[in-house]
Structure 1
Amino acid sequence: SFEINAALLSRCKVLVLKALTPDALEAVLQGALQNPKGFPDLEITMQPDTLRLIAEFANGDARMALNTLEMAVLNGDRDGKHVTITTAGLSQLINTKSLRYDKHGEEHYNIISALHKSMRNSDVDAAIYWLMRMLAGGEDPLYIARRLIRFASEDIGLADRQALPLTVAVFQACQLIGMPECDVNLTEAVTYLALAPKSNALYAAKSAAQADIKATGNLPVPLQIRNAPTKLMKDLGYGSDYKYAHDTAAKLTTMTTMPPELKLHRYYEPTSQGQEKAWQQRLAAIRQWHQQHPQTEPSDDET
């Protein structure tokens, strides 16, 4: 689905290849040993649990299982045509599992999704695990760092105002020193983001505003907050009735700044999480002030 466009894919019959079970892989290995074309002219002896170890090491991949079996035969104890494969000798070939990871395919997106959702769920151990899986698979650390910056804004926002500066600093650290040294920087950021208070209020505000823009199009800017760099614009009423907030004790005015069609629309609704609680209280105070001081409506001529 990543390599073929949708039009062609819709005309194809898609077969999903799933990972083979250890039992199935063991059957494949037995077939290779019993087939006369597998290892011709060799008599192979191995301990009963050796094939099972190879099957489990292959991680669902028959090609990996067969390659490992071939390496085991080539490195076994040989006496003429007789080859003996021991569990101890095999352990030298399977001491590191092969990771299934494609940097531009499904597993790439599966694991970055797992990292993102683990942090969102405040599961710090799972987040660190998925981070290490990506790095072990050869992922570009700058890609991960960019995703962490995005997460800091989308899932934490103003609940912790240090999250975004931290992730930007980690991105710069990864640029400066690269792998493998920057893995600890990424671990620091992932740990911080997983444990930080969460809020998607900023993301929700952005999405709501975008939906209104799509629905209402180019609503005109109210005259009182338009810039008037020319005399003609001033004569047309641009900037007339503008109220300067700094001239008031409350630093607030009754002037309307939202297009009239969207007057009652609200986008940012802060949560009570972390530092965002202070913004929740501040916004409540602003709204209470406006309830006590109704906004002035522009005249028909001004609109």
Structure 2
Amino acid sequence: MASATLLLPPAARFGGQRVSPDTARWLGRADRIAAAPGSGAPGDGLTRYFEVLPRGWPAAAVTRQRDAAADANGLWMRADPVFVQPDINGARLMSHGDALALDRSDAEALLPALRPLFGDAGFVLDAPHPARWYLRVPDGAKLPVTVSPEQALGEDLFEHLPAGAEGRRWRSLLSEAQIVLHNHPHNARRAAAGLAPVNSLWFWGAGRLPDQIRTTLDAVLSVDDTLVAFGQAAGASASSLPAVWSAGDGDRLVDLRGSRDLRELDRDWLAPALSSLAAGQLRSVSLEFPDRGGLYVARRHRWRFWRRPLLSFITAPADGSAE
């Protein structure tokens, strides 16, 4: 029988919002899942769903394999186009990926101005996808440890720049790229059309294509192109997240980390998934939070009548203890 794991945003995001009474009854009867220790490494929180050998989360190489077919050998880093907003304390990452509404004409206009800068540094820059740009890095180059743009969204750009002497080269390249982009007439045309300019790049996801990627999952549903790429590389059925829950076969990982309204999350995902559990279509539903472990609900838990309903995620034990 199938199972479903729902990846949720931090529970604190929902504050005191409450789930529906039926959902609250199910969640109150759940087992608590202890929070996994975070390492701060790339892919932290996602690597437990995949066996990647050698160990790591080389997002650039794995997404490159999907975006450019067989052209993924070697050492790769993402250099994604982003929009940063200056403020009194520096600059904040405000938009990236699909939110920038980039198309092929944007890449064709901006890349020729950037390629000489990176070429002089020994890198090859290209964009097989308008929102996913790549640097081919020479063998032996020292690569910075960076986070994905999703992890840094809304945060100070300078808090995530490569640090130390080894990061100096990357900080310098970024500064020069920002100057090129700031002065590029294509960004003026984007602004005139009401679109955010591409005024910076985001370096992340460095590494080589793994020797092996495996998973026990049958399906991965996500708006995160990296997670989908890892799912496809592991042989799972991987695709973009649909609008609402639908019943299906096999063990599924459903990425709902972008959710912000608990009422919509409950209506479209939690309640339907728990209804599938009650109907015997699922053996279990797991809810996993990055800030406080999670909840594991099995069909047999319906007999736990003595448990109190769990109306709010913020009241769930954060240490994985059972009630």
For the aligned pair, the TM-score class normalised by the smaller chain equals under 0.3
Q: Which has the higher contact order (CA 8 A, sep 6+)?
A: 2
> How high is the TM-score relative to the length of structure 2?
0.24
Larger radius of gyration: 1
Which has a greater percent of strand?
A: 2
Which has a greater percent of helix?
A: 1
